[in-house]
Amino acid sequence: GAGVSQSPRYKVAKRGQDVALRCDPISGHVSLFWYQQALGQGPEFLTYFQNEAQLDKSGLPSDRFFAERPEGSVSTLKIQRTQQEDSAVYLCASSEKPAGSYGYTFGSGTRLTVV
């Protein structure tokens, strides 16, 4: 597709449920980022992939968060045993160049609400 596609657009989970959020980056893009955007705040970095390698996961808030990109294209962010504080918009971004390039394209995000 022409842009970064994320699904689902909206997800409501009961506290304690596991969720999986999908990101389809722009075809051929090497870099893929996940960010978390709380209501009324700027995005915060979660993790970075270069192709299939997860090179930085320093922003993942707890070991309940796990991300993968097994074939270097589609990525999945998984949150286990969701908590209310996990409620946020999860943004995926991709870039054709490795990290450090100037600018990347964001998807529209998945809005997760934990009830």
* Smallest distance, other proteins to C-beta of residue 100, A: 4
Structure-token pair, residue 105: 């394209």
Of 12-20, 66-74, 76-84, 94-102, the window that binds other proteins (rule: CB under 8 A) is: 94-102
Give the other-Cβ count within 10 Å of 1's Cβ. 8
Q: Please identify, using beta-carbon distances, which residue of 12 and 55 lies nearer to other proteins.
A: 55
**Per-residue buried b or exposed e for 26-61, using 16+ beta carbons within 10 Å of the residue's own CB:** beebbbbbbbbbeeeeebeebbbbbeeebeeeeebe
Q: From the CB of 97, what's the least distance to other proteins, in Å? A: 11
SS3 56: strand
5 near other proteins, rule: CB under 8 A: no
- Summarize as ranges the residues that interact with other proteins (CB under 8 A): 4, 33, 40-45, 47-48, 50, 55-56, 58-59, 91, 93, 99-100, 102-103, 105-109
